[in-house]
């Protein structure tokens, strides 16, 4: 059984990585990769500008992976 929510974490990580590298959405769009890239310019003075978006990305990816695992465990008849 295929659970779509397992891929949402991968999509969030991919889009934020591409935006961090400058290959994603436009630089003026508020997206976690863009925010992380902007914050990385200020690591010495305001490190929270890079740490907070990174932690948010990590929590969202983990949350969607846990949700996907729970949905798969609940709906997959082979596990029961």
- CA-wise closest residue to 62 among 15, 8, 3: 8
Look up the pTM and report it.
Answer: 0.83
pLDDT in tens, 40-79: 999 999 999 999 999 999 999 999 989 888 888 888 878 7
State the alpha helices, DSSP H only, in 3-47: 5-21, 32-40
Q: pLDDT (tens digit, 9 = 90+) per residue, 7-34?
A: 888 999 999 999 999 998 898 899 999 9
């Amino acid at each position: 059984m295929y659970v779509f929510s397992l891929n949402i974490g991968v999509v969030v990580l991919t889009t934020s990585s591409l935006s961090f590298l400058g290959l994603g959405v436009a630089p003026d769009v508020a997206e976690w990769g863009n925010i992380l890239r902007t914050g990385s310019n200020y690591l010495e003075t305001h490190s929270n500008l890079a740490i907070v978006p990174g932690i948010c990305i990590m929590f969202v990816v983990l949350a969607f992976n846990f949700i996907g695992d729970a949905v798969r465990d609940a709906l997959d008849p082979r596990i029961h």
